[in-house]
Structure 1
Amino acid sequence: MEEAFYRKDIEYFKVLLKHDDFDIRARAVCILVEIAGEDAVEPICDVLLNDPNALVRHEAAFSLGQMGYAKAVDALINAMLNDESQFVRHEAAIALGVIGSERARGALMKALNDESREVRESAQIALANLDYLAYSRQKGSNSISRFARLTGG
């Protein structure tokens, strides 16, 4: 695995996303974030929505938030509203706040009624970050600042 990492063998790690061992799948998610950039979004979204292990799905949600690409928003919304694991729903909400897409606002409002306190609080934090980003845009900033990313979750 280490040799493939240094070779930046993206295809090798995409195959590992389907490995029988959940630990290897989780590691593959982390490595793809590092070596594949935006090309990793689609396969990691697939992991988020379809992996049988909640810890792996949680890692996928976290990783998508750290990557910050808006094309992950739909998968994150789906996971936040529908995943059986409160830990995945929580992490998806945080990731949506970090990404900062207004498309997530309605879904985050729904998540304020989630049965899990952690999910509700995560949605509240994410919505506060969306409000901060909207305020920043009104002041003329079109980019998501490092500060907003760090405080979005």
Structure 2
Amino acid sequence: MPIKVPDEKIIAIGKLLCNPNKPLKERFRALFTLRNLGGDVAISAISECFSDPSALLKHELAYCLGQMQDKHAIPKLVEVLKDTSQEPMVRHEAGEALGAIGDTSILELLQEYSNDPVIEVAETCQLAVERLRWLQLKGKSEEKLEKNETFLSVDPAPAAAENDVEKLKGILTNESLPLFDRYRAMFSLRNINSPESAKALAAGFKGASTLFRHEIGFVLGQMSCESVVEDLAKVVADKSENEMVRHEAAEALGAIATEGAMKVLEEHLKDEAVVVRESCIVALDMCDYENSKEFQYADGLVRVDEVTG
């Protein structure tokens, strides 16, 4: 159950989130505090920040709204998805968030944007459509099962029933299969959560789809497995790779938080790509958290209390 917090405190955390003069790492912590709190006031606070110049922050706003699984976020997410002035990674995340909420009332809209000229947006909406159709087939009673309790995330596709790493790797890397099936293999490998399954996932970085490769980076971050630090480091360092993929690889290194991972992040703090260097800043803050005795990463309430208390 969400923590009951006075509206004025939630609004204050929202002001911290939307303050461009605050360090990005503090704004990220405020965002995740709002996500954890939930409710209409938190959704409104997050929604007010989509005019920010940081594509990284805006994409994370959309992600958090989807993870909250609250229908009150749908209008803002639809607005962002439709807004072609927003960066592709932001629009993609809005499409994925709509799928995560799981409301079939937006199925037609997602079908429309499955043909978007921006391939990352189109593929995201195609996956969201498949997820909603899967939920319809499973029935509403199954919908609550869609939040993975180990990784505390609502995934864009359900994990496959298969649990053989080599078979799943074969599905993952088979470009002739539907993207939805390959995503299901991806999340099954993540759930196995072993060094072997992490290395199998890393093979997905050779895939043709930018969206697919970026999701590989994301799930490797969820696993926090040291066996793929070198694989992730290569992705971050590859200037020919899409920024969306490089940024997820950087954040995955932040979750792993080893000395080697931190070294890679420090090397890219001045990367030419804004979204990559911002990701390294946030990822290093996550490293600090992982290697500290801090009670929680989402510490927006504490920071607001320090200012107002």
Q: TM-score, normalised by structure 1?
A: 0.76
> Which of residues 209, 223, 235 is equivalent to 1:53?
209
Deviates more, 1:67-76 or 1:112-121: 112-121
Offset at residue 147 of structure 1 (A): 3.7
Post-superposition Cα deviations, 1:35-67, rounded to whole Å, max 9, x if no partner, equal x2213111111212x222211111111111101
> Which of residues 259, 263, 280 is equivalent to 1:102?
259
Using a 3 Å threshold, how does the CA distance of structure 1 residues 6 and 120 change in structure 2: closer, same or farther?
same
Equivalent position of 2:170 in the other structure = 15
| C-alpha distance in 2 between matches for 1:40 and 1:27 | 14
Q: Confirm or deny: 8 A CA contact 2:160 2:187 kept in the other structure.
A: no
Q: TM-score, normalised by structure 2?
A: 0.40
Using a 3 Å threshold, how does the CA distance of structure 1 residues 40 and 81 change in structure 2: closer, same or farther?
same
| C-alpha distance in 2 between matches for 1:67 and 1:57 | 16
| C-alpha distance in 2 between matches for 1:146 and 1:9 | 36
| C-alpha distance in 2 between matches for 1:7 and 1:107 | 34
Higher helix proportion:
1
Offset at residue 87 of structure 1 (A): 0.4
Q: Confirm or deny: 8 A CA contact 1:22 1:56 kept in the other structure.
A: no
> Which of residues 185, 190, 215 is equivalent to 1:33?
190
Alignment of 1:4-153 (within 5 A): 5-6=160-161, 8-19=163-174, 20-21=176-177, 23=179, 24-34=181-191, 36-38=192-194, 39-48=196-205, 50-82=206-238, 84-136=241-293, 147=296
Using a 3 Å threshold, how does the CA distance of structure 1 residues 133 and 66 change in structure 2: closer, same or farther?
closer
Q: Confirm or deny: 8 A CA contact 1:102 1:130 kept in the other structure.
A: no
| C-alpha distance in 2 between matches for 1:7 and 1:92 | 26
Equivalent position of 2:123 in the other structure = none
* Structure 2: gaps (5+ residues): 1-158, 300-309
Offset at residue 89 of structure 1 (A): 0.6
Q: Which amino acid aligns with 2:173?
A: K
User: What secondary structure does 2:161 align onto?
Assistant: helix
Task: Look at both structures and tell me which one has the larger radius of gyration over its CA atoms.
Answer: 2
Using a 3 Å threshold, how does the CA distance of structure 1 residues 29 and 6 change in structure 2: closer, same or farther?
closer
* Structure 1: gaps (5+ residues): 137-144
**Equivalent pairs, count:** 137
| C-alpha distance in 1 between matches for 2:226 and 2:258 | 7
Q: Alignment RMSD, CA only?
A: 2.5
Offset at residue 27 of structure 1 (A): 2.8
Q: Confirm or deny: 8 A CA contact 1:73 1:96 kept in the other structure.
A: yes
Using a 3 Å threshold, how does the CA distance of structure 1 residues 103 and 22 change in structure 2: closer, same or farther?
farther
* Identity level (%): 33
| C-alpha distance in 2 between matches for 1:146 and 1:27 | 33
